[in-house]
């Protein structure tokens, strides 16, 4: 089954203790769709400026990503500049130039409207809502957000969440949204707002899922070198949603497997700047790392 994703396509300039990259391809929708493309068909809604080069369009198309919803408009593409120190869980934003993204008004092409899976990457919750208004009732709606919207548009976000099945946010955001230090309490409050399932991303510590009364803890893969954490969360969501859409199975057992596939994709993504590692993967590599996650977490029953 196919996934509709709406989010950003951007140029990133990133510095980490291990190197730097300038004006490389980035953006939540880019990372998400590249990651999900290994599992299923992806239909992308985003906006870029006239400076967006044909080679990136070609690259995304080569991953089988449907770009009917990618608009090229007058002006410049969204640019983000950030730095990571040794604590790679924490991005320090140096510059944000929204450019054409500031007037982004997502229009879902007719051919996308019956997508059974929808992922609303981190954008203004009012725009996320506009997307939901355009699609026919999908099988699963998932969304991400960030502290900027939790603080700036809490009412729009809460309204949106009533229609969301799966909410994916990071640990600090879960605490901020709920006002609870305990993630178990935070999860209860968030699930009471609408979503059936909450996945809390914890960077190098993995992810926690809350689904009804059930909890699932997935580690991140301990890597010798993490070159660039940019896009890890969206690569995670891409693997997660990609596997769910591929199987069409929303049972908890399958969501758990999907979280591991998400963790697999995130672990590859951070091994290189931009999408350099993510875009060159093979299915055997993905399956091999899934098996490594199995070995990493295995312990016997008593």
| Chain contacts with its own copies (rule: CB under 8 A) | 17, 86, 88, 181-185, 202, 205-206, 208, 214-219, 222-226, 253, 256-257, 259-260, 287, 290-291, 294-302
Nearer to its own copies, 116 or 219 (CB): 219
CA–CA separation, 173 and 185 (whole Å): 13
Which strands make up the sheet holding 42-49, listed edge to edge?
66-73, 42-49, 3-6, 117-120, 140-144, 166-170, 197-201, 207-211, 214-218
Nearer to its own copies, 102 or 182 (CB): 182
CB 27 within 8 A of CB 9: yes
Nearer to its own copies, 115 or 263 (CB): 263
**DSSP structure string for 212-263:** TTEEEEEPPP--S-----TTHHHHHHHHHHHHHHHHT--SHHHHHHHHHHHH
The least distance separating its own copies from the CB of residue 126, rounded to whole angstroms, comes to 31
The least distance separating its own copies from the CB of residue 145, rounded to whole angstroms, comes to 22
Residue 123's Cα: distance from chain center in Å?
11
Nearer to its own copies, 18 or 103 (CB): 18
CA–CA separation, 39 and 29 (whole Å): 16
The least distance separating its own copies from the CB of residue 111, rounded to whole angstroms, comes to 31
CB 28 within 8 A of CB 36: no
The least distance separating its own copies from the CB of residue 131, rounded to whole angstroms, comes to 31
Strand partners for 182 = none
- DSSP 3-state assignment of 134? helix
The least distance separating its own copies from the CB of residue 5, rounded to whole angstroms, comes to 24
Nearer to its own copies, 168 or 209 (CB): 209
CA–CA separation, 243 and 259 (whole Å): 9
Nearer to its own copies, 83 or 257 (CB): 257
The least distance separating its own copies from the CB of residue 241, rounded to whole angstroms, comes to 17
The least distance separating its own copies from the CB of residue 292, rounded to whole angstroms, comes to 9
- DSSP 3-state assignment of 298? coil
Nearer to its own copies, 96 or 147 (CB): 147
The least distance separating its own copies from the CB of residue 33, rounded to whole angstroms, comes to 22
- DSSP 3-state assignment of 105? coil
Nearer to its own copies, 138 or 206 (CB): 206
Radius of gyration for the alpha carbons in the chain, expressed in angstroms and rounded: 18
């Amino acid at each position: 089954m196919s996934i509709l994703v709406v989010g950003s396509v951007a140029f990133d300039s990133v510095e980490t203790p291990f190197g730097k990259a300038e004006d490389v391809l980035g953006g939540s929708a880019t990372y998400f769709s590249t990651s999900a493309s290994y599992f299923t068909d992806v239909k992308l809604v985003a906006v870029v400026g006239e400076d967006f080069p044909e080679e990136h369009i070609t690259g995304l198309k080569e991953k089988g990503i449907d770009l009917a919803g990618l608009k090229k408009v007058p002006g410049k593409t969204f640019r983000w500049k950030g730095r990571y120190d040794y604590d790679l869980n924490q991005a320090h934003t140096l510059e944000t130039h929204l450019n054409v993204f500031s007037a982004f008004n997502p229009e879902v092409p007719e051919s996308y409207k019956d997508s059974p899976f929808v992922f609303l990457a981190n954008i203004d919750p009012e725009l996320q809502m506009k997307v939901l208004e355009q699609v026919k009732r999908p099988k699963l709606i998932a969304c991400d957000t960030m502290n900027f919207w939790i603080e700036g548009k809490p009412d729009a976000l809460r309204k949106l969440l009533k229609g969301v099945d799966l909410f994916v946010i990071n640990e600090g955001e879960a605490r901020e949204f709920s006002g609870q230090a305990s993630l178990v309490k935070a999860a209860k409050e968030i699930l009471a707002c609408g979503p059936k399932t909450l996945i809390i991303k914890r960077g190098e510590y993995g992810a926690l899922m809350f689904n009804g009364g059930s909890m699932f803890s997935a580690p991140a893969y301990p890597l010798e070198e993490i070159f660039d954490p940019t896009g890890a969360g969206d690569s995670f969501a891409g693997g997660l949603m990609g596997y769910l859409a591929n199987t069409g199975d929303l049972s908890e057992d399958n969501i758990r497997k999907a979280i591991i596939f998400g963790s697999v994709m995130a672990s590859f993504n951070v091994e290189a700047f931009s999408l350099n590692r993510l875009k060159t993967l093979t299915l055997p590599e993905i399956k091999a790392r899934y098996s490594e996650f199995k070995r990493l977490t295995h312990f016997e029953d008593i």
